[in-house]
Structure 1
Amino acid sequence: MSSTLDLEVFVRTADTGSLSAAARNLNLTPAAASIALKRLETRLGIRLLARSTRSMRLTEEGARYLDSVRLALETLSEGERAIKQQGQSLSGLLQLSAPSDFGRNVLLGWLDEFKVEHPAIRIQLLLNDSNADLFRDTVDIALRFGVPRDSSLVALPVVPGHHRIPCASPDYLARYGTPQTPADLARHCTLRYMRRGQANSTWHFYQGAVHQEVEVTGDYLSDDGEIVRRWALAGHGIAYKANLDVARDFQAGRLVPLLPEWQGEPTPFNLMCPHRLQVSERVKVLHRFLQARCEALLSP
């Protein structure tokens, strides 16, 4: 198979009648253009251009081959334009992975609104608290809480200053009291989240330069964030949840945020992509959409 450059040198030379002019049009040196033309003729085993010190003309074989080359180059150019336009247009498929709790209770409704605004975009949603492998799974982008562990991925910040918040239902607090310091949590029933087979039994809190770790226990443990939230709503204990997951529960009074003078563990919220080239226009639009929705949700 001949390279595209070799074919382009042949067409430009035929059009201009000059190898030097073809080289200038393609930003090549005359020597590089001559090598490309010779390489093409050698591969084909025919002379495409009859050359002398003063003139250059197509051979009979070259004239027949020229039409095929023009068509091939035009087809390649059209294909490239179509791919670029598809990548930049607000159409096509968005394959998105998201955490289960946020996905079911927040993101699902937002995606309905996003689809109304951009009806030509198709959505494939995978909800899983285990991080999707963006290089192996059938997803293109993923919403993730926490500091990115894989430096090869591109992180588009959605809520960079996001953090976890301890919370409980009014019923639980009425029965067992409200903790006043992080250390008080050790005396309460906590609802723990398990990830990668490990229970999150160490909760972190910050107050300026002060950092406190609290070892917590409880009778409830799950690897599904939605289950932990439901246990908290049912009054079974204190949960340590991502702010975005429970913001609506705070607003409705179903859950109460605790320890307001302390900040929970930082969990920046990002839209992850495997490569910068995959940040298409539709991904950028989704990113801006999510930033706006999250800002509105977390506003006082």
Structure 2
Amino acid sequence: MNRTQTTQLMVFVSVAELGSFRRAAEQLGIAPSAVSHAVSALEESLGVRLLARTTRSTRPTDEGARLLARVAEPFADIAAGLQEASEHDGPPSGPLRVTMALSVAEDLILPRVAEFSTRYPSIELDIRADDNFEDIIKSGCDAGVRLGESLEADMIAVRASGPRRSLIVATPDYFSRHPAPRHPTDLAQHNCIRRRFSSGRIYRWELKKGRKALNVEVQGNLILPQQTFMRRAALDSVGLAFLFEQNIAADLEAGRLVSVMEEWCPSFDGFYIYYPSRRQMRPALRAFIQFFQVGA
């Protein structure tokens, strides 16, 4: 393998992982025409087609997928090693892109982000909050934070929280005008504050008692995109809300909100920081993991 092929392989890996010639050009800092030329030249030298191109997508062929499986990780190790070497003598620094659900940002990251920024002022933390599950390789992110049940098997995961649970709550004023529900079927008689994910899907309340699990499609005249907004609406006595217990602990203690049907609201597995299985890790990512992992 000559130096030219090494460069062409690097370009191919970027296109294959990002699924786009344009995005690969942006990542590599070269012209799109140079990306196309490098991939075409590599295909010609190998005598096989590596990428299937359409007007809507770019994906590896079977031959391209096999090549990608062999060379992607070594190139990632080289890039990580170069980055680590450049940061070795100083504090963790540089851009750090982390994808997470909106609820994770609200519940786990934002309450401590000021402390993180103060401790690591040279890290440029780029939080991408979206309820759609984002492939961290294709999106160019360094890591993600999600519920443990959502993780891919080939990711390394570090626990970032203990178990969590959501509670069905409303104000004493609301319950003075509406009888408290005792069973999931009673929810049909209540105005429930619903949540719409960024994908467009409206969340179905996940309830469980013993071995009986239900996904309840509640009804109500208000739909909101974030738990912060839902809490505010619940405090204004709009209706019932299904909210993370940790986010409303002070409201419950002060009596501003009252929980019901707690036997139908079990704990679930908490959040994890996940990242690709690579031997080397940038100091900025290591700092993020050590700061936000459980017990930090």
Same fold (TM over 0.5): yes
Q: CA deviation at 1:87?
A: 7.2
Q: Is the 8 A contact 1:146 1:266 kept in 2?
A: no
Find the counterpart in structure 2 of residue 273 from structure 1: 275
| Amino acid of the structure 1 residue aligned with 2:245 | N
Distance 1:253 1:120 in 2: 42
Q: Secondary structure at the match of 1:200?
A: coil
Deviations 1:159-203 (A, max 9, x none): 3522332222333223323223333222211112223322223x3
| Amino acid of the structure 2 residue aligned with 1:140 | D
Find the counterpart in structure 2 of residue 86 from structure 1: 87
Q: 1:123 to 1:215 in 2, by over 3 A?
A: closer
Find the counterpart in structure 2 of residue 171 from structure 1: 173
Q: Which is strand-richer, 1 or 2?
A: 1
Q: Is the 8 A contact 1:231 1:237 kept in 2?
A: yes
Q: Do structure 1's residue 199 and structure 2's residue 202 form an aligned pair?
A: yes
Find the counterpart in structure 2 of residue 190 from structure 1: 192
| Amino acid of the structure 1 residue aligned with 2:195 | Y
Identity %: 24
Q: Do structure 1's residue 99 and structure 2's residue 101 form an aligned pair?
A: yes
Distance 2:270 2:277 in 1: 20
Distance 2:88 2:172 in 1: 49
Distance 1:220 1:280 in 2: 44
Larger Rg: 1
| Amino acid of the structure 1 residue aligned with 2:84 | I
State TM-score, norm by structure 1: 0.58
Distance 1:122 1:220 in 2: 36
Q: Do structure 1's residue 128 and structure 2's residue 151 form an aligned pair?
A: no
| Amino acid of the structure 2 residue aligned with 1:197 | G
Q: CA deviation at 1:111?
A: 1.0
Q: 1:200 to 1:152 in 2, by over 3 A?
A: same
Find the counterpart in structure 1 of residue 158 from structure 2: 156
| Amino acid of the structure 2 residue aligned with 1:194 | R
| Amino acid of the structure 2 residue aligned with 1:154 | I
Distance 2:229 2:262 in 1: 24
State TM-score, norm by structure 2: 0.59
Q: Do structure 1's residue 257 and structure 2's residue 259 form an aligned pair?
A: yes
Q: CA deviation at 1:233?
A: 2.7
| Amino acid of the structure 2 residue aligned with 1:86 | E
- RMSD across aligned C-alpha pairs, in angstroms? 3.6
Find the counterpart in structure 2 of residue 233 from structure 1: 235
Distance 2:280 2:141 in 1: 12
Q: CA deviation at 1:91?
A: 0.7
> What is the aligned length?
219
Q: CA deviation at 1:112?
A: 0.7
Q: CA deviation at 1:110?
A: 0.7
Q: 1:260 to 1:87 in 2, by over 3 A?
A: farther
Q: Secondary structure at the match of 1:142?
A: strand
